[in-house]
């Protein structure tokens, strides 16, 4: 393997990394801090604490995959890098959930879009939830610090045609559009961010904070699932964890007990509330798992006259916020418009269908363009989010009822996306919906979309942004942690991931997670070093 | 957490009872109280097929099935010709090979879904394989090995167009796992006009060359 790869080099240099599938006997380990999850939040936390000289153990249920494994192949990547082998869905099956499960978490498979938390969102939190410490000007230095750490900058290479069509359509209609900042260094503009960056250009946790933590003597267990935090009186005494066998999903039977002064949970939305529920931690107001948000996503596809090759090039480089805060922060639901990459398995899984019709649809893939709307859920009383609970086997599941408020936004988004695609010269547009045909004009599309039933399963919905479920707030009656991610009831427990967001973000969340985790970890490091 | 068994044997096969019946998730929340489902499925039909002999099912005998049972394989053998009409090769051997390979990749994919979603799919497949539910819910009258491509196509259309969301969900589950395993496979990329990863990048990247 190439010694230009920082992970291969680090492993060769003696990083303390344990593949739990290789363990044959139960064991107990101890550190100052145990961090559960190695994604945006966990990686940031581990690096900051380890740099302060604290001993840190990282626990990751997924496995360690790196450059040698990233071969631009969808099937192997979806099976190994995603939660539930890419089959995760909401409780009723109506929303497909894309979420990472590997070292680096979702940042290993994310599409590199890097946005600060919108001011509107931060102001809403500070005005409505007592989180005035999180106002835009106080957060600005934390965003800036993380933008530097992850090399985030607006993408200067021309967008691929898939993204350029969003720009063209917006320009024609007088809608605003912008270039997306990306966390990349020396990006080859290949378009495989979703299956693990093959060039190491993507500056996710895997290329930044995880090596940073391991260089500072942190220990990493991968293929080790956190099962239960066990309390002794009012503190967490230890974490009970199960090693996965060689396939990464079936427990081998070996367990690891992890003791620490402090525990940081960063297993993300769905994962973190799941762990807290399994652990039966104090939850006097029954808040854990509630108010889980997902930026529900719907999509349209267009057939363009020219080849789009939507599988090549930086997956996301143009966005439009025209509709995001159009009706204020808490009016009818707003949405951000972006573009998804389309590779064959993804396209075939997302566009529902079978037989000759499906074959014909997919045969047009090189000419296909797609726009997605990411709905800003959680800012309105008719958008209370979903609830995480436990299945029989203890694994977490998200129940997410789609309210009429959201359905209105979903329909409006189908309309806006179709209009933009026609304005950009689409020959035909289809809503990703079981009842949609191919519409050949905007007037036809408008009439038809207005008739489409807005019902679960028929409208195809997705999420790649899981948030909330352990929401932060000043008042323990309606939150799980305070504004620093500190658990309201358990003193030696913090939560540093997307699960603490009290609403959705209204932008792709990675930078929000990085920045809050950095801020909260600095405070935690001071506390623990001082103690 | 309990340690889930990777293999399904008759003992731990989920009980299909009158009350809970494909209640949730991936397979489709099929709570249909009108259907009386008391009969326990007997025999070992839902145990993983393991190594299916070539004579038996024309499958590549070197592949070891970890999740799909013989009945499930028969189900997919009946569904895939409809699922991929116009996409499967015409030549009988190649066609058989493409179907068998897709069913193997479906099995591999499901193994990585993990225990909870495997359980959902087990319920869905059991429901489709058990005659009383196959007839009442799928309205497929004969057992799968004797179902024609036209009837399989009609079944897929019924579940897609049904007004019952739960059946739509079953349709989505079946088509999604099949579509991904078929169109995502490199031998079928040409069907979607996908040339594969750029050759220049493959040439330049170390992981494609065994150093
Ligand atoms: C396909 C895709 C594309 C995306 N694109 C973008 C984008 O372009 N821009 C953007 O800003 N955001 C994007 N996101 C979302 C973004 O990556 C996430 O919001 C962010 O990584 C969340 O950080 P986190 O720390 O909360 O969780 P994660 O980064 O997901 O990390 C959580 C980790 O915890 C582990 N874990 C869970 N349960 C356990 C357990 N019991 N024991 C041990 N470990 C456990 C998981 O395996 C995972 O590795 C994308 C996500 C996906 C899936
Ligand atoms: S587009 Fe850039 S960041 Fe994404 S996979 Fe390719 S090289 Fe990596």
SS3 of A188-255: the string is: CCCCCHHHCCCCCCECCHHHCHHHHHHHCCCEEEECEEEEEEEEECCEEEEEEEEEECCCCCCEEEEE
Q: Check CB contact of A306 with chain B, cutoff 8 Å.
A: no
Low pLDDT (below 70) residues in chain A:
1-3, 531
Is B166 inside any structural domain? yes
Mean pLDDT of B113-120: 95
Q: State yes or no: pLDDT of B17 exceeds 60.
A: no
Phi, psi of B25 (to 5 degrees): 70, -145
Of all atoms in ligand 1, which is nearest to the CA of residue A62? 47
Q: Which residues pair with A371 in a beta bridge?
A: A300
Q: What is the structure's pLDDT at A208?
A: 98
* Chain B residue with Cα closest to A461: B172
Closest protein CA for atom 2 of ligand 2: A187
Q: What is the structure's pLDDT at B39?
A: 32
CA B140 distance to own-chain centroid: 17
Across chain A, mean pLDDT equals 97
Pairing of strands A219-222, A16-19: parallel
Mutate to test the pocket of ligand 1, among A88, A108, A110 (most ligand atoms within 8 A of CB): A110
Q: Check CB contact of A227 with chain B, cutoff 8 Å.
A: yes
Question: What residue ranges define each of the domains in chain A, with the CATH number in brackets?
Answer: 6-112+115-149+191-288+470-530 (3.50.50.60), 161-181+297-376+403-455 (3.30.410)
Question: Looking at A164-168, A189-193, B39-43, B148-152, which range is the least confident one?
Answer: B39-43
Length of chain B: 211
| Residue of A344, A358, A362 for testing the chain B interface, max B β-carbons within 10 Å | A344
Is B93 inside any structural domain? yes
Q: What is the structure's pLDDT at B41?
A: 39
CA A223 distance to own-chain centroid: 20
Q: Give strand ranges (E) for A275-390.
A: 292-293, 297-303, 318-319, 335-338, 368-375, 387-390
Sign of the dihedral defined by the CA atoms of residues A120, A126, A127, A128, in that order: positive
Closest protein CA for atom 39 of ligand 1: A267
Place of tokens 């009831």: A489
Distance CA A153, CA A225 (A): 34
Distance CA B160, CA B166 (A): 10
Judge whether B181 and B105 are in contact, CB under 8 Å: yes
Q: Check CB contact of A95 with chain B, cutoff 8 Å.
A: no
Mean pLDDT of B182-188: 97
Any idea what DSSP says for residue B90? S
Pairing of strands A251-265, A27-36: parallel
Q: What is the structure's pLDDT at A480?
A: 98
Q: What is the structure's pLDDT at B25?
A: 52
Distance CA B120, CA B23 (A): 8
Continuous H helices in A267-403: 271-279, 344-350, 355-363
Is B52 inside any structural domain? yes
Length of chain A: 531
Q: Which residues in chain A have their CB less than 8 angstroms from residue B89's CB?
A: none
CA distance B191 to chain A (A): 6
Is B33 inside any structural domain? no
Q: How many domains does chain B have?
A: 1
CA distance A104 to chain B (A): 19
Is B80 inside any structural domain? yes
Q: What is the structure's pLDDT at A457?
A: 97
- In this complex, the residue of A92, A190, A253 whose CB is nearest that of residue B29 is A92
The per-residue DSSP string of A140-157 comes to HHHHHHHHHHTTEEE--S
Phi, psi of B124 (to 5 degrees): -60, -45
Q: State yes or no: pLDDT of B210 exceeds 90.
A: no
Triad A472, A475, A479: Cα angle to 5°? 35
Q: Minimal CA–CA distance to A336: which of A348, A344, A350, A326?
A: A326
Q: Which phi-psi region, left, alpha or beta, contains residue B81 (left: φ > 0; alpha: ψ -120 to 50)?
A: alpha
Place of tokens 């939040």: A41
Nearest ligand, CA A514: 1
**Interface confidence (ipTM) of the complex:** 0.95
Q: State yes or no: pLDDT of B52 exceeds 80.
A: no
Pairing of strands A181-183, A224-232: unpaired
Cβ partners under 8 Å of residue B170, min gap 6: B22, B27, B28, B30, B124, B159
Is B121 inside any structural domain? no
Q: Minimal CA–CA distance to B35: which of B114, B135, B124?
A: B135
Query: How far, in Å, are A171, A374, A449, B188, B209 from residue A310 at the CA level?
Result: 20, 19, 24, 18, 27
* Secondary structure class of A522 (helix, strand, coil): helix
Of all atoms in ligand 2, which is nearest to the CA of residue A200? 8
Phi, psi of A286 (to 5 degrees): 50, 55
Between chains, do B168 and A458 touch, taking CB under 8 Å as contact?
A: yes
Is B199 inside any structural domain? yes
pLDDT digits (tens, 9 = 90+) for A400-422: 999 999 999 999 999 999 999 99
Is B12 inside any structural domain? no
Q: Domain of residue B108: give its range.
A: 45-115+132-208
CA distance B137 to chain A (A): 18
Percent of chain B with pLDDT over 90: 70
Q: State yes or no: pLDDT of B1 exceeds 50.
A: no
Q: What is the structure's pLDDT at A79?
A: 97
Q: Which phi-psi region, left, alpha or beta, contains residue A160 (left: φ > 0; alpha: ψ -120 to 50)?
A: beta
Q: What is the structure's pLDDT at B5?
A: 38
Distance CA B67, CA B32 (A): 26
Distance CA B105, CA B109 (A): 6
A vs B: CB pairs below 8 A: 216
Sign of the dihedral defined by the CA atoms of residues A338, A515, A491, A220, in that order: positive
Q: What is the structure's pLDDT at B58?
A: 52
Query: How far, in Å, are A192, A266, A367, B119 from residue A344 at the CA level?
Result: 12, 32, 13, 27
Q: Which residues in chain A have their CB less than 8 angstroms from residue B116's CB?
A: 84, 391-393, 395, 397
Judge whether B20 and B99 are in contact, CB under 8 Å: no
Q: What is the dihedral of CA A316, A322, A326, A332, to 10 degrees?
A: -50
* Secondary structure class of A433 (helix, strand, coil): strand
Between chains, do A84 and B198 touch, taking CB under 8 Å as contact?
A: no
Residues 332-391 of A with CB under 8 A from B: 343-345, 347-349, 352-356, 358-360, 362-366, 391
Q: State yes or no: pLDDT of B144 exceeds 80.
A: yes
């Amino acid at each position: 393997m190439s010694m230009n790869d920082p992970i291969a080099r680090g492993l060769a240099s003696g990083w303390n990394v344990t593949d739990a599938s290789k363990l044959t006997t139960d064991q107990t380990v101890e550190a100052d801090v145990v961090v559960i999850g190695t994604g945006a939040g966990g990686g940031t936390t581990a690096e900051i604490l380890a740099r302060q000289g604290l001993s840190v153990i990282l626990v990751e249920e997924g496995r360690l995959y790196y450059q040698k494994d990233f071969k631009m192949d969808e099937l192997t990547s979806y099976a190994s890098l995603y939660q539930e082998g890419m089959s995760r869905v909401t409780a009723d099956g109506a929303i497909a959930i894309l979420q990472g499960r590997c070292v680096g978490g979702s940042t290993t498979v994310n599409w590199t879009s890097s946005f600060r938390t919108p001011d509107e969102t931060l102001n809403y939190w500070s005005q409505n939830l007592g989180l005035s410490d999180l106002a835009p000007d106080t957060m600005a230095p934390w965003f800036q610090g993380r933008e530097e750490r992850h090399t985030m900058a607006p993408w200067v290479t021309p967008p691929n045609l898939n993204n350029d069509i969003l720009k063209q359509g917006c320009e024609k209609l007088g809608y605003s559009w912008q270039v997306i900042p990306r966390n990349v260094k020396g990006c080859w503009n290949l378009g495989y961010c979703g299956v693990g960056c093959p060039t190491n250009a993507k500056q996710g946790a895997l290329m930044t904070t995880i090596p940073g933590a391991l260089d500072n003597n942190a220990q990493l267990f991968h293929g080790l699932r956190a099962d239960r935090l066990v309390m002794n009186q009012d503190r967490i005494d230890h974490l009970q964890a199960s090693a996965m066998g060689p396939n990464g999903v079936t427990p081998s039977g070996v367990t690891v007990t992890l003791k620490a002064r402090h525990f940081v949970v960063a297993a993300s939305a769905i994962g973190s509330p799941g762990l807290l529920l399994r652990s039966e931690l104090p939850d006097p107001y029954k808040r854990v798992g509630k108010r889980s948000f997902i930026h529900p996503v719907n999509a349209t596809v267009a057939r363009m006259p020219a080849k789009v090759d939507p599988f090549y090039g930086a997956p996301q480089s143009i966005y439009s916020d025209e509709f995001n805060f159009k009706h204020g922060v808490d009016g009818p639901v707003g949405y951000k418009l972006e573009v998804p990459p389309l590779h064959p398995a993804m396209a075939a899984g997302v566009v529902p269908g079978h037989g000759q019709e499906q074959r014909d649809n997919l045969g047009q893939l090189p000419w296909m363009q797609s726009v997605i709307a990411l709905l800003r859920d959680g800012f309105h009383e008719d958008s209370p989010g979903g609830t995480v609970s436990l299945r029989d086997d203890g694994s977490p599941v998200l129940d997410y009822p789609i309210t009429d408020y959201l359905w209105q936004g979903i329909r409006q988004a189908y309309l806006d996306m179709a209009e933009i695609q026609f304005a950009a010269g689409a020959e035909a547009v289809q809503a990703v919906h079981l009842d949609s045909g191919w519409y050949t004009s905007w007037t036809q599309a408008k009439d038809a979309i207005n008739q489409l039933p807005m019902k679960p399963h028929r409208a195809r919905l997705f999420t790649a942004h899981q948030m909330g479920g352990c929401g932060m707030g000043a008042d323990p009656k309606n939150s799980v942690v305070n504004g620093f991610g500190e658990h309201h009831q358990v003193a030696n427990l913090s939560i540093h991931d997307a699960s603490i967001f009290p609403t959705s973000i209204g932008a792709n969340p990675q930078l929000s997670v990085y920045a809050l985790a950095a801020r909260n970890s600095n405070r935690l490091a001071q506390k623990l070093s001082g103690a | 957490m309990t340690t889930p068994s990777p293999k399904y044997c008759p003992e731990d096969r989920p009980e299909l009872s009158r009350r809970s019946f494909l209640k949730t998730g991936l397979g489709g929340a099929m709570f249909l109280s009108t259907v009386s489902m008391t009969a326990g499925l007997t025999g070992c039909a839902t145990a993983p097929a393991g190594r299916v002999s070539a004579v038996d099912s024309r499958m590549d005998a070197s592949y070891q099935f970890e999740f799909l049972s013989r009945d499930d394989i028969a189900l997919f053998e009946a569904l895939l010709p409809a699922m991929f009409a116009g996409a499967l090769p015409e030549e009988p051997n190649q066609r058989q090979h493409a179907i068998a390979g897709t069913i193997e990749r479906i099995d591999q994919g499901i193994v990585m879904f993990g225990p909870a979603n495997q359980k959902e799919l087990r319920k869905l497949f059991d429901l489709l394989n058990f005659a009383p539910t196959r007839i009442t819910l799928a309205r497929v009258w004969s057992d799968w090995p004797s179902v024609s491509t036209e009837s399989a196509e009609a079944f897929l259309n019924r579940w897609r167009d049904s007004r019952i969301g739960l059946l739509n969900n079953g349709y989505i589950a079946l088509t999604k796992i099949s579509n991904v395993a078929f169109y995502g496979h490199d031998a079928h990329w040409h069907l979607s006009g996908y040339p594969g990863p750029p050759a220049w990048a493959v040439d330049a990247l170390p992981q494609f060359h065994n150093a």
